[in-house]
Chain A
């Protein structure tokens, strides 16, 4: 809790706070990276030929269209999963730190 934070906040807590903060920032970087990767894949594909030519190609080869769609969905989804995991790790570390501070305060009382 808030009032317990200053009194018992040691260097170990600071380190944990730093790791949790890094995980939180990394979560957004990773999400951004995967979103950009998805867009870059689409841009690379559409940059190689016109949209009309792409549609024609997809009509002729629907397996290619399906593969492209699935690989993009997969990349984007991976980004969301990593974001959730890193956010979870960040929040989990914060909760462990808060719990430890609460127990220290209890012992003191």
Chain B
């Protein structure tokens, strides 16, 4: 985003708020330079924000949520809750990585697909222009379907594991 296109009031607000999560160090350097040019003096800044309060609350909620499962006095016999938390966290991470890897792996396939489609028009080279759009449509749809299947399967497994853990926890007698 070009900061010099912003109104001075907007820049002052960004400068005062000092949100280092939303804006990078470079953005602040640029904003400082622009404000110095426009105003001469820099307005006072708040303490820098390195983490949003909402994120902190979510993290605290997560810790409280998982603590009840990790009570060693009331531990389950056949599984370790820590392992469930670890595996479900990794399933969520891998689901995102799977989408990225599926897309990357399918890029060379597009070239192959384009050549296959082109081979259908050997006798009619005027139709060669169809090869790339065709490859992009077919390849794109296939990749999207693969991403959808892998992503949601892994996400579903992660959720099922957490629900089963909750279910097991609620079935315990006091």
A interface residues (Cβ-Cβ under 8 A, vs B): 1-2, 4-5, 17, 63, 66-67, 70-71, 73-74, 77, 80-81, 84-85, 87-88, 91-92, 94-99, 101-103, 105-106, 109
Contact = CB atoms under 8 A, between A and B. Distances in A.
Interface of B: 74-79, 83-84, 87-88, 90-91, 94, 97-98, 101, 104-105, 108, 111, 150, 154, 157-158, 160-161, 164-165, 167-168, 171-173
Instruction: Determine the main DSSP class of B at the interface with A.
Output: helix
B101 A1 contact: no
Given A97-B78, A98-B77, A88 B91 contact: yes
A102 B165 CA distance: 13
Contacts of B105: 70-71, 73-74
Contacts of B160: 88, 92
A98 B76 contact: yes
A2 B73 CA distance: 10
A97 B168 CA distance: 9
B167 A77 contact: no
A73 B152 CA distance: 21
B173 A105 contact: yes
A88 B167 contact: no
A70 B104 contact: yes
A9 to B, nearest CB: 10
A66 B108 contact: yes
A96 B77 contact: no
Contacts of A102: 168, 171-173
Given A81-B154, A88-B87, A102-B172, A95 B101 contact: no
